Amino acid sequence: MKIIKPILFLILLAISFSVNSLAANTSYSITQSNSSSYVIAGIGGDDATQAAEDTASNINWLIIGIVVLLIVIISLIFDILTKVGEIQKKPVLNWNKINSKLLFILGVAGLLAVVWEFNKHAPLTINAQPHASAHSAEYEKMFMITLVLTGIVFFITEFLLFWYPFRYKHSDKRKALFFPDNHKLEYIWTIIPAIVLTVLVIRGLISWNRIMSPSTEKSTNIELFAYQFAWNARYSGADNKLGTYDFRKMDVVNPLGVDTIESNKAAFDDIVTNELHLKKDQPVYMHFRSKDVIHSAFLPHFRVQLNVVPGLPTKFAFTPTITTNEMRVKMNDPKFEYILLCNKICGSAHYRMKMKVIVDSPEDFEKWIKTQPALTAKGTEANMAFDWSKEIIKELASK
């Protein structure tokens, strides 16, 4: 009896909030219609709105009052039934049965809600969309194996958690058996999870090392520079070497702080853009750097995420495998775009910290990169000379 009252109170309170919310939506319509009526009756616009809002408020208080009265009435009914049971020396209601059934119903409803949630919102997650990098297939496989195994354990344990109170509720016909330990059970629930987790962890470490330690000899070096609340991309130019930087040289003209002194020749041909262009099937070695606070670089379709920490450069290598145009066809969405997001709450405008990502065919990428100016005039000349030398090599190879 002491348990059922709070449960009923919470249920009725939830109903009250639901009905109150519905009434609030309905009251908006009432407000609009009543305002029109009051205006027709000759009451001014402001007065009409105030009168309609007062009517809606009265309706809300009336609903709350009805719910409170229902709680009081139900509570009195339970008290009467309890008194009747005391007089008859036999309970009218078996609270153990009622509570155990309610608990079991709650557990089943919760598991059904989990199934509904997966079916309803799983298609909206990034994992439901095609992946577009060389390592992402392995990542997806590892994720699904872990999800299936833990999901099976979850459903079994949650069902038993609610089944046992229902099946073994209090009964005057039997006495609960007490025993201090059971070595067989303890072996089962310790050894089996240990083996499963060991296999998952070892497999995860192997996958992690393979994904995080690829060969970067043939990779294109690109730096992603994060700051509140945007991104910049810096390409390494013809020499495929990123120039060094100095945070003390960051200013309006040089926001990335790239050191352009004569001895830092690797920086001359660097290219800074506000779009990230990648070449299909060309490995990229991403260098992440932050100006101010901790950000998190999230490239969802490539299954890439890495923290971007001030003073602590981080790196990640991957290979894009599907161009933007190919993905548009695959998803039947002509407006599809890859995107780079900040996945760490970094300030008031965190929600708009993103960058457009374009995966080009090799030919389109070369055309685009040629149109981008280098940091210095010397760098532009070096990039042009590099392009000219490549054309000569192609011509000689064709002969």
Quick one: pLDDT at residue 38? 40
Q: Which residue has the tokens 């993905």?
A: 327
Q: What does the domain layout of the chain look like in residue ranges?
A: 1-93, 94-170+198-213, 220-374
Tokens of 66: 């009805």
Per the DSSP assignment, residues forming a β-bridge with 359 are 278
Q: Is the pLDDT confidence value at 88 over 70?
A: yes
Number of Cβ within 10 Å of residue 16's Cβ equals: 17
Q: What's the rounded Cα separation, in Å, for the pair 327 and 323?
A: 6
Is 232's pLDDT higher than 50? yes
Please say whether the beta carbons of 304 and 298 come within 8 A. Answer: yes
Q: Which residue has the higher pLDDT, 365 or 128?
A: 365
> Comparing 80-84, 90-94, 105-109, 165-169, which segment has the lowest mean pLDDT?
90-94
pLDDT value at position 17? 54
User: How does the average pLDDT of the chain come out, rounded?
Assistant: 82
Residue 179's Cβ-count burial label (10 Å; 0-12, 13-18, 19+) is exposed
CA-angle at 23, arms to 20 and 26, nearest 5°: 160
Largest CA distance in the chain: 110
The answer to whether the beta carbons of residues 227 and 290 sit under 8 Å apart is: yes
Gap between the Cα atoms of 108 and 137, Å rounded: 35
Q: Each residue of 329-359: pLDDT tens digit? A: 999 999 999 999 999 999 999 999 999 999 9
Q: How far is CA 278 from CA 77, 88, 317, in A?
A: 71, 82, 12
CATH of domain 220-374: 2.60.40.420
**pLDDT above 70 covers what percent of the chain?**
81
Q: Compare 288 and 5 and report the one with higher pLDDT.
A: 288
pTM summary value: 0.68
Q: Which amino acid is at 275?
A: E
Q: What are the pLDDT digits (tens) for 4-63?
A: 555 555 555 555 555 555 544 544 444 444 444 444 344 445 666 676 677 777 788 888
**Upstream peptide bond of 229 is cis (omega within 30 degrees of 0):** yes
Condensed to tens digits (0 to 9), the pLDDT of residues 181-213 reads: 889 989 998 999 999 999 999 999 998 888 888
Q: Is the pLDDT of residue 250 over 70?
A: yes
SS3 state of residue 392: helix
Question: What is the Cα–Cα distance from 293 to 309, expressed in whole angstroms?
Answer: 7
Which of 239, 348, 334, 222 has the alpha carbon at shortest distance from 289? 222
Rounded distance, CA 357 to CA 337, Å? 7
Q: How far apart are CA 92 and CA 77, in angstroms?
A: 12
Q: Residues 373, 382: contact at Cβ < 8 Å?
A: no
Percent of the chain with pLDDT over 90: 46
